[in-house]
Amino acid sequence: MQKIKISDYNYSLTEDWIAKFPLQQRDASNLLVYQNNEIKDFLFKDLDQILPSNSRLIFNNTKVIRARLHFKKSTGADIEIFCLEPHNPSEYVLAFESKSYCEWTCLIGNAKKWKEGHLESLLSIQDKTIKLRVNKIPSDGLHPIVAFSWDSEDLSFSEIIEHIGELPIPPYLQRKTEASDLVRYQTVYSKIQGSVAAPTAGLHFTEDVFRRLREKSIELSEITLHVGAGTFKPVQSEIIGDHAMHTEHFIVEKSTLKDLLDHCFTVPVGTTSVRTLESLYWLAVKIKNGTTHGNYHVQQWDPYELDADINAYEAIEILLNELEKTQKLFLEASTEIMIVPSYSFKFADAIITNFHQPKSTLLLLVSAFVGDAWKSIYSHALNQNYRFLSYGDSSLLFPSI
């Protein structure tokens, strides 16, 4: 499995097929449906007509933050700081609520021009002038740690970056962030701050789509996975076993775990929801085996190396029992899970997802779900002028028969 060649998951994608901007109406996007080994074309607003009435959709309610911060040194050099994840405090909620000081793991643009000293910026917030000071601190990790401090105990870090930060849109759009992106690069149900990229499969949903789903008695549940910049990391190795997956943090409420005990047709919305649900299973396996040691983390190759002798419902019971022991209302964990062909899905009965880049781990996940049919699916989408990537069209995929 680790010998899979990434070159086998390539297709020709030119700039003409990449959607640089969203459609005016979210649910007017095309929806490719692959079911019973057949491909059919719909509009996304017709989703309720296609899903079985016993379906449960799983949404990632994460919200994209204004993670890109721009500073100018006294020398005139431009420095960009891209916040990846909180370091101190490490909990997302606490980091955003921090007053006066916090630390983040970051990427630094033009880092060669900022080897020492601090950066400053004067902000005008709520009729007050706030001085924001930024320092690099020693780090043994892959990315530098940046300390943010500001001379106001009334303002949270969330308010600081909301004022100074720029919403990061995908690099392949090859344009600057525009005012419309502040709305359209968020799902209508986004609520938990933490992502640096949107869970784009959810961008097509509207209140009207939700109304139709509810009228058909289709159930809706939420999880939270904070999408990291690693989602755009290209696979540069020849074989997939040499590619290191990035870590992403997720939270699942006890109520959602209980929802998963219902015998519903489970449809995760987006690859982030897929990764979260499938990670739940392997986390339960590790808890059962006594190998978590209090560290709720799923490693990249766990699904292919651990002995799995429980079903999905037993896995949920294990997680609920764990929450009872710890007296918590939610499960907080992290995952590096890599889903590739040969993977056996535990929760996903169908998947809603956009069209992904060639030679990407996301395309590998799609292939793991539909097999070699991904080639005909993507060929059909190209021939029918579907729009690709984050602002592009959508698909509803059922497993190949």
- The rounded mean pLDDT for the chain is 94
Characterize the bridge pairing of strands 62-64 and 192-195.
Answer: parallel
> What is the model's pLDDT at position 143?
87
DSSP 169: -
342 band by pLDDT with thresholds 50, 70 and 90: very high
Class of domain 6-64+183-397: alpha beta
Structure tokens that stand for 249 in this block: 């943090």
> What is the model's pLDDT at position 274?
98
Please report the sign of the dihedral spanned by the C-alpha atoms of residue 52, residue 53, residue 55, residue 60.
positive
Give the chain's radius of gyration (CA, Å). 22
| CA–CA dist 204, 156 (Å, integer) | 31
For 11, half-sphere exposure in the C-beta direction (CA atoms, 13 angstrom radius) is: 21
Q: Quick one: what percent of the chain has pLDDT higher than 70?
A: 100
Contacts of 92 (CB under 8 A, 6+ apart): 85, 86, 192, 193, 194, 226, 249
335 closest CA partner among 266, 284, 261 = 284
> What is the model's pLDDT at position 126?
81
> What is the model's pLDDT at position 225?
97
> What is the model's pLDDT at position 333?
96
> What is the DSSP track for 138-154?
---SSS-EEEEEES-SS
| CA–CA dist 173, 386 (Å, integer) | 16
For residue 117, is pLDDT > 90? no
> What is the model's pLDDT at position 94?
95
Structure tokens that stand for 8 in this block: 């086998």
- Stretch 11-37: mean pLDDT: 96
> What is the model's pLDDT at position 294?
78
> What is the model's pLDDT at position 233?
74
DSSP 312: H
> What is the model's pLDDT at position 236?
87
- Stretch 23-39: mean pLDDT: 97
> What is the model's pLDDT at position 210?
98
For residue 234, is pLDDT > 80? no
- Stretch 166-195: mean pLDDT: 95
For residue 38, is pLDDT > 80? yes
Helix H, strand E, coil C: the string for 366-394 is: HHHHHCCHHHHHHHHHHHCCCCECCCCCE
Residues of the chain with CATH 3.40.1780.10: 6-64+183-397
**Contact yes or no for 160/123 (Cβ under 8 A):** yes
Backbone angles phi and psi of 94, in degrees to 5 = -65, -35
> What is the model's pLDDT at position 232?
72
**Contact yes or no for 170/181 (Cβ under 8 A):** no
> What is the model's pLDDT at position 115?
85
Which tens digits make up the pLDDT trace of 118-127?
Answer: 999 999 988 8
- Stretch 32-38: mean pLDDT: 97
313 band by pLDDT with thresholds 50, 70 and 90: very high
Element at 93 (helix H, strand E): helix 92-97
> What is the model's pLDDT at position 370?
98
Number of Cβ within 10 Å of residue 329's Cβ equals: 9
Backbone angles phi and psi of 271, in degrees to 5 = -65, -25
397 band by pLDDT with thresholds 50, 70 and 90: very high
- Stretch 345-353: mean pLDDT: 97
Which tens digits make up the pLDDT trace of 263-275?
Answer: 889 999 999 999 9
Element at 271 (helix H, strand E): helix 271-289
- Stretch 88-95: mean pLDDT: 94
| CA–CA dist 222, 189 (Å, integer) | 10
Q: How far apart are the first and last CA of the chain?
A: 21
> What is the model's pLDDT at position 371?
97
401 band by pLDDT with thresholds 50, 70 and 90: confident
Which tens digits make up the pLDDT trace of 184-228?
Answer: 999 999 999 999 999 999 999 999 999 999 999 999 999 999 998
**Contact yes or no for 352/200 (Cβ under 8 A):** no
153 band by pLDDT with thresholds 50, 70 and 90: confident
> What is the model's pLDDT at position 130?
92
